[in-house]
C-alpha cells in the first residue's frame, strides 16, 4: 500500500512539475500551426493578386509553411525544456550539406524563379534559347520544356536558358518577313518592282502599317537582288513566306523576268 502511495505521489509530482509545460507546448504547437497556415494562405492570396505564376505561388507557399512549422516545433520543444541549440545546429549543417550537394539544382531553381517573375516568355511562345528552338510547353521551377517544329520534346535546365540570350519569336503580334529575289542584269528593274508591289498588294495578309519595303539591295555577281520586307501577323508568317515565294516564281515566269543561276566567265588562253 505504501508502494502504491509512493507511485501516486511521484506521478502527482511529475504532473505538477511538467504538466503545465506539456500543456503550454501543446498550445504553442496547435496555435502556431494554425498561425502558420493562416500566414501561408495570406501570402498565397497576395501573390495571386500580384499575378505571380501559380507554380511559384505553390512552391513559395509550401516553403514558407515548412519554415514556420519548424519554428513552431522548436518553440514547443523549448517550452518543454529541450535544448534546441543542438537541433538548430544540426538543421544548419544539414542545410549547408544539401546546398553544396545541389549547387546545380539550386542554380536551376534560382533561374526558374527569375524567369517566372520577369516572364521573358510564356507557355505557347516560340523561342530560341540554349541552342534550341521550339514552342514553350511547360515552365517549371528547375526545367523548361519545349516542343520543336518536328514534334520533339526538349527539356532544358533553366540555368542554361538564362546563361545566354533568349529570342522570343512570337512575343510581338506582328513580324517582318525578310525576302530576297534576284533577277537578271538584262531585266527591267522598274518592271520588277511593279510586279513585286502588285503581288504584295493582292495579298490580304500584308499589313499596311508598317508599310512594306521594296528596294534594290545589291548588284551581285550574277544577279540584281531586290529586298522585299512586308509585315504580317505572327500567325501568318510561315504560310505567307511559302506562298510569297511561289507567287513570285509564277509571276516572274509569266512576265518574262529571269531568275539567273550563278555564273562564271572562263577565259581560255592558248599558250601554243
pLDDT digits (tens, 9 = 90+) for 81-121: 766 666 666 666 656 555 544 455 678 878 887 887 788 99
pLDDT digits (tens, 9 = 90+) for 3-29: 555 555 555 565 555 666 777 778 888
Fold of 2-101: Helix Hairpins (1.10.287)
Sequence ranges of the domains in the chain: 2-101, 121-168, 174-255
**Is-same-fold flag (121-168; 174-255)?**
no
pTM given for the model: 0.64
Specify the pairing of strand 132-139 against strand 143-147. Answer: antiparallel
Specify the pairing of strand 174-176 against strand 231-233. Answer: antiparallel
pLDDT digits (tens, 9 = 90+) for 153-169: 999 999 999 989 999 99
Strand order in the sheet with 153-157: 153-157, 143-147, 132-139, 126-129, 167-168
> Confidence class of residue 66 from pLDDT cuts 50, 70 and 90?
confident
> If one looks up domain 121-168 in CATH, what number appears?
2.30.30.60
Question: What grid cell was written down for 67?
Answer: 519554415
Pick the CATH number of 174-255 from 3.30.70.100, 3.40.50.620, 3.30.413.10, 3.40.1010.10: 3.30.70.100
Mean pLDDT (the chain) is 83
Amino acid at each position: 500500500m505504501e508502494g502504491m502511495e509512493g507511485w501516486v505521489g511521484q506521478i502527482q509530482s511529475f504532473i505538477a512539475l511538467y504538466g503545465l509545460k506539456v500543456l503550454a507546448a501543446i498550445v504553442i504547437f496547435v496555435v502556431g500551426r494554425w498561425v502558420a497556415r493562416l500566414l501561408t494562405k495570406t501570402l498565397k492570396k497576395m501573390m495571386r493578386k500580384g499575378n505571380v505564376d501559380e507554380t511559384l505561388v505553390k512552391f513559395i507557399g509550401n516553403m514558407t509553411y515548412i519554415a514556420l512549422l519548424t519554428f513552431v516545433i522548436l518553440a514547443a520543444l523549448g517550452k518543454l525544456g529541450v535544448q534546441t541549440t543542438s537541433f538548430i545546429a544540426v538543421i544548419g549543417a544539414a542545410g549547408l550539406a544539401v546546398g553544396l550537394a545541389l549547387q546545380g539544382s539550386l542554380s536551376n531553381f534560382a533561374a526558374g524563379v527569375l524567369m517566372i517573375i520577369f516572364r521573358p516568355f510564356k507557355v505557347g511562345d516560340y523561342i530560341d534559347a540554349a541552342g534550341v528552338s521550339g514552342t514553350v510547353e511547360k515552365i517549371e521551377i528547375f526545367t523548361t520544356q519545349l516542343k520543336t517544329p518536328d514534334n520533339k520534346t526538349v527539356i532544358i535546365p533553366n540555368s542554361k536558358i538564362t546563361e545566354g540570350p533568349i529570342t522570343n519569336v512570337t512575343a510581338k503580334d506582328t513580324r517582318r518577313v525578310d525576302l530576297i529575289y534576284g533577277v537578271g542584269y538584262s531585266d527591267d528593274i522598274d518592271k520588277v518592282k511593279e510586279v513585286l508591289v502588285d503581288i504584295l498588294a493582292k495579298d490580304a495578309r500584308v499589313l499596311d502599317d508598317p508599310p512594306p519595303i521594296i528596294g534594290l539591295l545589291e548588284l551581285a555577281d550574277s544577279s540584281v537582288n531586290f529586298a522585299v520586307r512586308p509585315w504580317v501577323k505572327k500567325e501568318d508568317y510561315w504560310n505567307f513566306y511559302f506562298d510569297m515565294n511561289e507567287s513570285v516564281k509564277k509571276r516572274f515566269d509569266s512576265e518574262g523576268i529571269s531568275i539567273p543561276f550563278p555564273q562564271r566567265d572562263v577565259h581560255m588562253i592558248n599558250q601554243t
